[in-house]
Amino acid sequence: VSAAPSAFSDEKGGSASEPEYGHDPASGGIFSSDYKRHDDLKEMLDSNKDSLKLEAMKRIVAMIARGKNASDLFPAVVKNVACKNIEVKKLVYVYLVRYAEEQQDLALLSISTFQRGLKDPNQLIRASALRVLSSIRVTIIVPIMMLAIKEAASDMSPYVRKTAAHAIPKLHSLDPEQKDQLIEVIEKLLADKTTLVAGSVVMAFEEVCPDRIDLIHKNYRKLCNLLIDVEEWGQVVIINMLTRYARTQFLNPNINESLLEENSEKAFYASDDEEEEDKKAEPATLAKRKPYVMDPDHRLLLRNTKPLLQSRNAAVVMAVAQLYFHLAPKAEVGIIAKALVRLMRSHSEVQYVVLQNVATMSIKRRGMFEPYLKSFYIRSTDPTQIKVLKLEVLTNLANETNISTILREFQTYIKSMDKDFVAASIQAIGRCATNIGEVRDTCLNGLVQLLSNRDELVVAESVVVIKKLLQMQPEQHSDIIKHMAKLIDNIQVPMARASILWLIGEYCEHVPKIAPDVLRKMAKSFTNEEDIVKLQIINLAAKLYLTNSKQSKLLTQYVLNLAKYDQNYDIRDRARFIRQLIVPTDKSGALSKYAKKLFLALKPAPVLESPFKDRDHFQLGSLSHLLNAKAAGYQELPNWPESAPDPSVRNVEIPDWSKCSSRKDRKEKKVEKPFYSDSEGESGPTESADSGNCESDSGSGSASASGSDESGSGSESEESGEETESDEEEEDEEEEKKKRKKLDKTKAKKQAEESAERCTIHTIHQISCIINFDQFDMNKITSVFSQTLAPSGSIKMYELLHRIKGEGLAVEYCFSRQPFSPEPNMVAVQIQFTNNTNSETKNLHIEDPRLQSGMRIREFAEIDVLAAGESVTVVMGIDFCDSTQAANFQLCTHTRKFFVSIQPPVGELMTPAFLTENDFKKEQGKLMGMNEILEKLTLGEKCVNEHVIVERVTATANLSRVPCGSDKECRFAGKTVSSGCLVLVTVTTKEGGGAQLTVNCEKMLIGTMLVKDILQALSQ
């Protein structure tokens, strides 16, 4: 026992000067010393001094970093997971994440610490708890992780939400079966409006459900607009995803050009009689194709990504470049060239990737890079792989006008010391020669000169390239063939020898004297040649036998005999095959007649193509493109759709429900007047297209787009007001009468507002109270009435300013649930002032409202005098923009100012809507999926019957009851005040006090909050 501490202190002394274990002084085996060392680490970890623990953890982390196994310390380390010292804790996390997979049972001991951490008030601790929890790859905790992620996804702190987004792919890779639930979380986080979350959640989207393009629709515009403020790594991920999205949702901007090309080709090749048909067909096809108009959303994407070409991050620039290459109209793609050329100054790895992509682009769009030709000139200090890529680009850019400068440049390259690069340069010259007829002879001459180069590799490469060039016009170049035949004595590179032999064989008629002699030499050295050379010797022999059998018969026999006993079976096979084919025997088959045709057929000249041709079917900038092979997890870039999918799916300002129906109504009405409707039908789309164009021209971007949207909904809201009225007219007369009454009342109220407002409200109050009592008995009839009046019985007063704080002035407010007549999309707030002082209060009014963007206030008229002991009630309107954000303002008297705020419960943000049972079902059907929230609950003790449920629900939210056939179900409907989104609530009761609550609302936030409130109300 006493030995242990001393050993420990020794170790400690040693460790201060030498934090790592460099060498082992004791000659005990590795195992024993390891065991010992770990023993002292364990003791340090068990001590109660943080500094010792930290020291131990640092040494353990150093071990991990060097790849040493430290797993046997797991129990000792994991104990410290709850350590107070934050650095120790962090290092324990590092350890835990590294080894948890191996020690699953022990890892579970730490889970409760993280669960506690998830509830910590400090967001950093919450986030790091979630981070570590989700990084522990232990399947048993999947449910805990799922729960934690779900909770974190609705955390207040965007940083925690970001961590939640990061955790999603972790959980998905641990347990793919959680996919569906994770998609729900992704959906929720996609709706997040902070830039911090955007990149991470799109990353999660790409890993978990990249095919769920439908989740993007609603967030598309937001993502486009946020893009510039997202951190750079997120930008890359979002841009890549949006490229794919755009390919599925928009039309090909170059569609007209490709159409023109098609047509011109047709016209060129078409014979006369076909042409006539074409003439008929052409106008038809052209007529079918509408003139292309770019979707404003497509334009939005292009416009918002363009500034990112200026990013300092090469990955972002590349992402934008590929987006433009794949999505932009031809005329606009050019802008990316400058940025890409700029990237070439970066680190050589960046250069490598960029050049690969430039090489692919330069084939499709040569003109784009032509002005930057000189930026691709090669320096002797470039690494070889960069040189070769630059060469590729230069070759792709070569055309009639610049070929002379390029060739001059190539000439200097041939003199380089880097032989691989010289070989590539020779190939490049060959390619230029095949592509540009004018310089073919010049190139050929240059290459022939290279044949006398001292470097054999250079000569060999030239031979191979010359062979390909000669195939294009062999007649004129028998001199060169002769020259090459002479070279065979000196060149040792097998590929070059094979090429020369093939050339001589192929064109043996041009060099009738030399060819047999070459065969003679080759027969002599046959056994020492490489396999490809041997094959070509057999080939040459066969061809000579067919053309000049007199001189070469015996030689051929000799070669074939040699080949017969070769070690390589390919060569033996070839010999057997050729013998059968060319040497006439009795048994020789029908083919030998055609031997000459078989061997000496005219062969098409090879096309020297860039290896980068057609690589653009891979998304540029991707790993798959770089490797020219599909990498795991690569998402194909979809082809453009034939016709554009519905663009309205991206409308975020919820496509006004009333607006839609009213449109439909209008159209139906117009059927009677076909003249108008026709013209309307045509002008509709062009109008929208025009406005799209204006937008893109104005360049003010997102703001204008969303602005116009908003204003659209604003103007619409008045209409919707009228519309509800007209809807109501269709309902029962009985109801209509009541409605009239109500209207009268409000009119009366308006008139009396200034003078005797209080009285009217009082009367309303009284009436509503009376009705309230009776309501439950005449449930069905009051369904309309309940809309305005029923809930007011349970109106709750909230305190705005306490008597003491307000120095005698007490202010209370309530949500009267009356429509606010001056502005229908405002919530009416009824405010009651009571003057508890002994003196008058003068000039009561509102000042300096501080509101969230979009919110508006309609102030009440100033109250001149409020006598001592009196109270007065006024009504003001607040447009909360369908959010529960508080409206802050100052309440001013002639002497004082008080800061106050009004925060609405979510239930007050809506007004009742009247639906029939069928309408309700129809609308509910439209609001499925992400718009539907289901929740099970147990009803509170007092919720015994339907009436109580109706009462509770209507008290919580300003909704109206919808008639329903089943008595197990209660349905309620309403619309949000500012944007008029439908809110549908269904409560289905079950045997034994259970119930299910369904809320359908397009505004998910409202839906969720409403669910919470109703749940609370019902379970009390």
* Contacts (CB under 8 A) with another protein, residues 232-271: 232-233, 236, 240
What the block records as the tokens of 765 is: 């109050």
Query: x/- binding map, residues 341-380, to another protein, per CB under 8 A?
Result: xx--x-xxxx-xxx----------------xx-xx-x-xx
Tell me: does residue 588 bind another protein (CB under 8 A): no
Sheet of 871-879: strand order equals: 798-801, 809-819, 827-835, 871-879, 856-858
Tell me: does residue 110 bind another protein (CB under 8 A): no
> Given its phi and psi angles, is residue 634 left (phi above 0), alpha (psi -120 to 50 degrees) or beta?
beta
Q: Which of 519, 484, 518, 477 is nearest to 499 (CA)?
A: 484
The beta strand positions in 349-486, using DSSP E, are none
Three-class secondary structure assignment of 255-278: HHHHHHHHHHHHHHHCCHHHHHHH
From candidates 32, 264, 285, 384, binder to another protein by CB under 8 A: 384
* Least distance from another protein to the Cβ atom of residue 38, Å: 18
* Least distance from another protein to the Cβ atom of residue 317, Å: 7
CA dist list (Å): 788 to 821, 883, 957: 13, 22, 12
Contact at 8 Å (CB) between 133 and 111? Answer: yes
- In one-letter notation, the amino acid at residue 397 is L
Q: Which residues pair with 814 in a beta bridge?
A: 830
Question: Taking contact as CB under 8 A, which single stretch among the options 110-118, 449-457, 467-475, 717-725 is the one that binds another protein?
Answer: 449-457
- In the bound state with another protein, the residue whose beta carbon lies nearer, of 340 and 501, is 340
* Least distance from another protein to the Cβ atom of residue 617, Å: 15
* Least distance from another protein to the Cβ atom of residue 170, Å: 5
Tell me: does residue 399 bind another protein (CB under 8 A): no
Would the CA dihedral through 672, 673, 678, 679 be positive or negative?
Answer: negative
Tell me: does residue 169 bind another protein (CB under 8 A): yes
Which 451-510 positions form the footprint of another protein (CB under 8 A)?
453-455
CA dist list (Å): 977 to 456, 721, 722, 797, 998: 85, 11, 14, 20, 21
Tell me: does residue 142 bind another protein (CB under 8 A): no
Tell me: does residue 137 bind another protein (CB under 8 A): yes
Which 401-420 positions form the footprint of another protein (CB under 8 A)?
409, 412, 415-417, 420
CA dist list (Å): 669 to 658, 666, 783: 16, 5, 30
* Least distance from another protein to the Cβ atom of residue 315, Å: 4
The kind and range of the H/E element at 754 are helix 733-775
Which 766-805 positions form the footprint of another protein (CB under 8 A)?
none
**Is residue 862 classed as helix, strand or coil in its secondary structure?**
coil
* Least distance from another protein to the Cβ atom of residue 158, Å: 7
Which 199-228 positions form the footprint of another protein (CB under 8 A)?
200, 203, 228
- For the chain, the C-alpha Rg in angstroms (whole number) is 41
Query: x/- binding map, residues 600-639, to another protein, per CB under 8 A?
Result: ---------------------xxxx-xx-x-xxxxx----
- In the bound state with another protein, the residue whose beta carbon lies nearer, of 50 and 753, is 50
Tell me: does residue 111 bind another protein (CB under 8 A): no
Question: Taking contact as CB under 8 A, which single stretch among the options 143-151, 310-318, 761-769, 859-867 is the one that binds another protein?
Answer: 310-318
Q: What angle do CA 663, 668, 673 make, to 5 degrees?
A: 115
Tell me: does residue 64 bind another protein (CB under 8 A): yes
Contact at 8 Å (CB) between 888 and 851? Answer: yes
From candidates 98, 303, 745, 845, binder to another protein by CB under 8 A: 98
From candidates 77, 318, 466, 970, binder to another protein by CB under 8 A: 318
Determine the size of the site formed for another protein (CB under 8 A): 102
* Least distance from another protein to the Cβ atom of residue 308, Å: 9
Would the CA dihedral through 138, 139, 140, 143 be positive or negative?
Answer: positive
Tell me: does residue 23 bind another protein (CB under 8 A): no
Tell me: does residue 312 bind another protein (CB under 8 A): yes
- In the bound state with another protein, the residue whose beta carbon lies nearer, of 7 and 631, is 631
What the block records as the tokens of 84 is: 């107070």
- In one-letter notation, the amino acid at residue 236 is V
Contact at 8 Å (CB) between 700 and 303? Answer: no
- In the bound state with another protein, the residue whose beta carbon lies nearer, of 88 and 800, is 88
Tell me: does residue 135 bind another protein (CB under 8 A): yes
Question: Taking contact as CB under 8 A, which single stretch among the options 156-164, 391-399, 685-693, 875-883 is the one that binds another protein?
Answer: 156-164
- In the bound state with another protein, the residue whose beta carbon lies nearer, of 167 and 533, is 167
CA 485 to chain centre: 60
Tell me: does residue 21 bind another protein (CB under 8 A): no
Would the CA dihedral through 611, 617, 622, 628 be positive or negative?
Answer: negative
Tell me: does residue 140 bind another protein (CB under 8 A): no
CA dist list (Å): 295 to 70, 647, 658, 695, 753: 58, 8, 25, 11, 49
* Least distance from another protein to the Cβ atom of residue 120, Å: 12
What is the DSSP secondary-structure string of 62-96? HHHHTT---GGGHHHHHGGGG-S-HHHHHHHHHHH
Alpha-carbon distance of 667 to 673, in angstroms, equals: 10
Which 905-944 positions form the footprint of another protein (CB under 8 A)?
none
Which 979-1018 positions form the footprint of another protein (CB under 8 A)?
none
Alpha-carbon distance of 463 to 455, in angstroms, equals: 13
Alpha helices in 136-254 (DSSP H): 142-153, 158-174, 179-190, 195-208, 220-226, 232-249
Alpha-carbon distance of 215 to 202, in angstroms, equals: 11
Alpha-carbon distance of 919 to 418, in angstroms, equals: 79
From candidates 24, 34, 39, 61, binder to another protein by CB under 8 A: 61
- In the bound state with another protein, the residue whose beta carbon lies nearer, of 53 and 739, is 53
- In the bound state with another protein, the residue whose beta carbon lies nearer, of 251 and 368, is 368
* Least distance from another protein to the Cβ atom of residue 31, Å: 21
Alpha-carbon distance of 362 to 390, in angstroms, equals: 11
Tell me: does residue 749 bind another protein (CB under 8 A): no
Question: Taking contact as CB under 8 A, which single stretch among the options 60-68, 529-537, 794-802, 838-846 is the one that binds another protein?
Answer: 60-68
- In the bound state with another protein, the residue whose beta carbon lies nearer, of 271 and 401, is 401
- In the bound state with another protein, the residue whose beta carbon lies nearer, of 391 and 501, is 391
From candidates 158, 334, 721, 940, binder to another protein by CB under 8 A: 158
Output the CA torsion 749→755→757→758 (10° steps).
-160
Which 66-95 positions form the footprint of another protein (CB under 8 A)?
66-67, 85-87, 90-91, 93-94
